[in-house]
Amino acid sequence: MKIDNVTVDKIAHLARLEFENEAKEQIKKDMNNMLGFIEKLNELDTTDVEPLIYMSDEVNVLREDDVKHDISQDDALKNAPKHDSDYFKVPKVIEKA
């Protein structure tokens, strides 16, 4: 697998990141190096091996559906870069017709 500009653009969009000019060349090079590195795994035969997904051996950790540890609206908004007294603020999403 070789990462080209189209793939970099596609992945960058999925990750909501931007790379332009030199930064784009650099990330392409880095991703190709890293892929080459991890492709070593293909040397191993994993036929009939189940993927290991959960590291915890806890089974069905359940709890009562009680409200606790709730955060006040003021606290929730406190760390937002832009907010008013009630809402997180974002740039306008709907354009006027």
49 vs 67 by CB, closer to other proteins: 49
Indicate the residue type of 2.
K
33, 1 Cβ separation under 8 angstroms: no
25 vs 88 by CB, closer to other proteins: 88
**Residue 86: CB minimum distance to other proteins, A:** 14
Indicate the residue type of 25.
E
40, 34 Cβ separation under 8 angstroms: no
Interface residues with other proteins (CB under 8 A) are 1, 3, 7-8, 10-12, 14-19, 27, 30-31, 33-35, 37-44, 46, 49-58, 61, 63, 69, 71, 75-76, 78-82, 88, 90-93
Cα R_g (the chain), whole angstroms: 23
